[in-house]
Every structure is written in structure tokens, then in C-alpha cells.
Structure 1
């Protein structure tokens, strides 16, 4: 299994319950063929530049281990979610 780091930003006007549902959905996808090592909710922060006329976003960082196909499925789900502003998955190489 490989180590990955996922960062995604959701709209700040999203209710806490819906944010938690999205987080549970993402961690559920990861746990099908991997394991979540750490979930770090950074909270509301100012964006470096305006995205879709928004200046703030709610940041979430997830570290996980999984097979190669899991990040593709996570990315597909985040891409179709209207509440996600941006997302990025990094492959963390062990040295």
C-alpha cells in the first residue's frame, strides 16, 4: 500500500452536518481498500486567491494508506460534489 495526502476545501456556507457527511463519505471510500491514518480539520481560512467569487474556505487534510485505485475514486467523488471548491491528492514517497 502507498501513502497519500488529501487536501480539500469546501465552501464556508456549508452546514456542519453536511461537512461531516462529506468527510464520512471520503473516509468511507478510503477505508474500503485502505486505512485512514490522520484527519486534520484546519477550519475556515482565507484563500490565496478568489475562487468562484469566494475568498474563504474550510480546509480538511487527510493522510491515508491505500491501493492505487482508491485515490481515483476519491477524486471522482470530490469532483462531482458541488460543495468542494478545490482538492488535491499527493503521493507521499517513503525514503
Structure 2
């Protein structure tokens, strides 16, 4: 299964430590029989509302494939690390293409406008 995970790191953490946390997350994915695909840092972003008395955080996005064990190991790392404020892991499913049936065109009622140009 394919997954994507985003986690928010406390804003006072330096860039070197953010890189270290990302590397640890990748190692956990690979150690638990998962395959790391990509990671991207979005930098510091302001929250819509305070979280743990913080107003902003550093966002990191990762994509990986694995099984439930991989997700559990990664989320355990997130839960027990005090520097990580929030996280979310979501399963990515392939989208199915559905062909739409075309109905026979039915005549539409004529639309009229008033003197202000509004459609009635």
C-alpha cells in the first residue's frame, strides 16, 4: 500500500535537527519493511489556531509504501517524540476512471433575462 505522511515540528528546532528527524523517519520506514519514496520540507508555516501554545511549525511531507506494521512504527515514533507537534498519515488509493454515460440531449427551457441582465 502507498501512504503519505505529514508531520509538524516545533518552530524553535534548528534545520539540522529537522533533517535528523526526517532521516530517522526514513530509517524507521525502511527498518519496518517499507519503501521510502520521497520527502519534502515545506518550512515554517503559521497555524490557523494555536497548538500546544505554539503559533507556527515546520512542516515535512513524506511518501512511502509498506504495510500496517510500517505505519504503526512510524506513528509510534511521531507520538513519543516531543519535538513533533502533530502528524497525519493517509493511505493513497489509485483513482478509478469511470466513463460517464451520455444521455440523449433534451431540449432545455429557454432562459430569459430581465432589464438588469439577471437570468430568470
Length-normalised TM-score, structure 2: 0.75
| Equivalent residue pairs, number | 94
In the TM superposition, residue 30 of structure 1 has moved relative to its aligned partner by 0.8
Segments ≥4 residues shifted beyond 6 Å: none
Q: Bigger radius of gyration, 1 or 2?
A: 2
3-state SS, counterpart of residue 74 of structure 2: helix
3-state SS, counterpart of residue 31 of structure 1: helix
Looking at secondary structure, tell me which structure has more helix per residue. 1
User: Which ranges of structure 2 fall in alignment gaps of 5 or more residues?
Assistant: 96-120
Aligned-CA RMSD value: 0.9
Looking at secondary structure, tell me which structure has more strand per residue. 1
Q: Any residues of structure 2 matched to 1:31-46 within 5 Å, and which?
A: 31-32=30-31, 33-46=33-46
Length-normalised TM-score, structure 1: 0.93
Greater relative contact order, per chain length (Cα 8 Å cut-off, separation 6+): 1
User: Which ranges of structure 1 fall in alignment gaps of 5 or more residues?
Assistant: none
